[in-house]
Structure 1
Amino acid sequence: MLPLWFPDRTFNFRENRGVFHKGGKNLMANSYSAEDHERSRRRRRRQLLGAVICILILIGIINVVTGIFKSVAALFDDTEKKLEYEQKLQPLVMMDPLPFESLDQMDVNQLREYSIWASVAAAQRAPGGLDAYQRDPDTQGVLMPGLEVEAQLVSLLGPGYNDLLSEPIVNSSFETDIVYPYLEEQKAYIIPVTGQVGLYRAQVTNLQRKDGKLRVTVGYVPTAMMLGDYNPNTSAEPSKYMDYIFEKVDREYYLRKLEASETKPSSSAPVVDPELDTDMEFNNPMSAIADEVAMDDSSSEEQPQEEPATE
């Protein structure tokens, strides 16, 4: 083999071939090490990205499952609907109506009285309460518009309710234990300054829908005065239960029937003394109605304390 000539030295391949061989191995090793490092770095990035994606997927699954669980729970949670029917039926329960198979068996004056006190309760729940209403200058009684009174009957019985009653209800003065004057000029009822003590407070315990009907089981919780007990810690257990039967008309349910319930009071339920005079009067029944409304509004947050249901 011919030697290579360099300006400063002569280099012999045969004598120095080990240098090339050893240096080539080092260069290849360095090249492999750099490639492995780059591959390892890319693999770590992929692993990190995969872990982040898995965490996000897991969070999404948890949110979806939680949402489904809450939706299913909401379908079976009828607390708000029970409160709605308690408020709707309270003015009727306080008068303890007799059972009836159809609306033509109902006491018309009792229905009229219901509509008066239902209007008062609705007004108390609205902003401004009864202070937003005009008052009769002679009696200082609240002037409740006849249209609002009619609206309560429509809400309970449905449109065309007069066709189902034994006699039509029209806006006019009437009398039960209390006189309810109607002023033609103002088209309003004068709500008396004194009123009856409610016999019971409504406590809806069950809602059952079947064949286009809604059965609302209502526990009748006696007021303290109904029990002859003025202790504010009187038991809040119902002394009896009644089933209010609503029928679906279009998309709404309207009252059609009242019957004794199969639900029976517990052995610890209070015993009502029927001889007690329940037609007692308050000096200011409007404040008592406000207390009843406040108790209804707070019942979704905590168990209400027993208070007189004043209407």
Structure 2
Amino acid sequence: MADEVINFENTAPVRNSGKKRKKKRAHPWAFPLGLIIALLSLIGLVTVILTGIGTVSYISYKAKNIDEYNKMLIPVVMNDPDMFDDITKADMNQLLDISIWSILKSDLSPDDYEYVDGNMIIPEEDVTAEYTKLFGSDLPPVHATVAGFGYDFVYNSAEKHYVIPLTGIEPTYTPNVTDVDKKSNTVVLTVAYLASDGWAQSADGSMVAPEPDKFVKITLREKDGNQYISAMQMTSTPEVATTQPAQTTTEPVTEPGTEAPAEETAAPAEENTEQPETAIAEP
């Protein structure tokens, strides 16, 4: 019994050692896969952040520019011009009318233009400059007397100027931009037309803006850093448009001529606080 020797060396330890080496080599692709997942997660996070920044920037763009668009569009929609799919198909008389009213609605001083026989004289070159600012150069202006609603802007071809009569008028419509859709080189504005004669008075004496008569899409094309009106097209009532009448405490009236063209404040995107009044300047 003393001669019986049991040797425990190189048995289980050898087998276990092999298993350990085998276990280490079981998933050689685990690390690169994890690295790829981590990189994709990082890329996804960056994309989400950039998308969020882009969304915030777009919202800020709309909020910042909507009041400016409303102001710019006052002379554009006030006399309800005809629709056109392309600026080359627009009515020249109406484009000139818009251009002259745009000058009258700017921050004019009483001495910016001379007066003859009680009429303001606007040089042809100023009308051309305003026309180009609004509509670009695809359709050059053809200067002629402008026939408006109850007034004429008489063109003097010899002196190359327009004679602006002194009279007070009530605009047909006021613009209210309800949506701004900015694309690569265009901006499409959805504009509600508010009738000037549609205002009502509430029980507390404040004025209530009317529901929009119609909606128009106005397309602005960008060129050389500027935006030009290239189309005006009828559209259906937007589902998200704000049509709830707004209130104002000042009753809109049409005033006679004053010392300088009275500038109107365009209605904000979601609330119109005052119906604008239009008057052509007196000296």
TM-score interval, normalised by the smaller of the two chains: 0.5 to 0.7
Q: 1:242-267: per-residue Cα shift (whole Å, max 9, x none)?
A: 11012233433322211123416667
SS at match of 1:171: coil
SS at match of 2:198: coil
SS at match of 1:214: strand
CA contact under 8 A between 1:194 and 1:281: conserved in structure 2?
no
Indicate yes or no: 2:115 matched with 1:135. yes
What letter corresponds to residue 179 of structure 1 in structure 2? Answer: D
The match for 1:174 is 146
What letter corresponds to residue 183 of structure 1 in structure 2? Answer: N
Shift of 1:102: 1.6
The match for 1:284 is 257
Indicate yes or no: 2:182 matched with 1:209. yes
Q: 1:156-175: per-residue Cα shift (whole Å, max 9, x none)?
A: 1112422xxxxxx3333332
SS at match of 1:161: coil
What letter corresponds to residue 206 of structure 1 in structure 2? Answer: D
Shift of 1:186: 4.8
The match for 2:278 is 310
Q: Which runs of 5+ in 2 are unaligned?
A: 1-51, 247-252
What letter corresponds to residue 125 of structure 2 in structure 1? Answer: L
CA 104–290 in structure 1, closer or farther in 2 if over 3 Å, else same: same
What letter corresponds to residue 283 of structure 1 in structure 2? Answer: P
CA distance in 2, matches of 1:232, 1:146: 42
Q: 1:34-80: per-residue Cα shift (whole Å, max 9, x none)?
A: xxxxxxxxxxxxxxxxxxxxxxxxxxxxxxxxxxx999856532333
SS at match of 2:233: strand
CA 232–172 in structure 1, closer or farther in 2 if over 3 Å, else same: farther
CA contact under 8 A between 2:200 and 2:207: conserved in structure 1?
no
SS at match of 2:132: helix
CA distance in 2, matches of 1:281, 1:235: 16
Out of 88, 91, 110, the residue aligned to residue 72 of structure 2 is 88
SS at match of 1:246: strand
What letter corresponds to residue 205 of structure 1 in structure 2? Answer: T
The match for 1:79 is 63
Normalised to the residue count of structure 2, the TM-score between the two structures is 0.63
Q: How does 1:16-165 map to 2 (within 5 A)?
A: 73=56, 76-77=59-60, 78-122=62-106, 125-126=107-108, 129-136=109-116, 138=117, 140-162=118-140
CA 147–309 in structure 1, closer or farther in 2 if over 3 Å, else same: same
CA contact under 8 A between 1:285 and 1:310: conserved in structure 2?
no
Q: How does 1:226-241 map to 2 (within 5 A)?
A: 226-227=197-198, 229=200, 233-235=207-209, 237-241=211-215
CA distance in 2, matches of 1:309, 1:281: 5
What letter corresponds to residue 284 of structure 1 in structure 2? Answer: G
Find runs of 4+ consecutive structure 1 residues off by over 6 angstroms: 69-72
SS at match of 1:205: strand
Shift of 1:211: 4.4
The number of residue pairs the alignment matches comes to 215
- Greater C-alpha Rg: 1
CA contact under 8 A between 2:212 and 2:243: conserved in structure 1?
no
CA 269–240 in structure 1, closer or farther in 2 if over 3 Å, else same: farther
CA 232–286 in structure 1, closer or farther in 2 if over 3 Å, else same: farther
- Larger strand proportion of the pair: 2
What letter corresponds to residue 133 of structure 1 in structure 2? Answer: Y
CA 180–229 in structure 1, closer or farther in 2 if over 3 Å, else same: same
Shift of 1:193: 0.6
CA distance in 2, matches of 1:299, 1:211: 25
Q: Which runs of 5+ in 1 are unaligned?
A: 1-68, 163-168, 271-279
CA contact under 8 A between 2:84 and 2:231: conserved in structure 1?
yes
CA contact under 8 A between 2:198 and 2:210: conserved in structure 1?
no
CA distance in 2, matches of 1:192, 1:80: 36
The match for 2:47 is none
Normalised to the residue count of structure 1, the TM-score between the two structures is 0.58
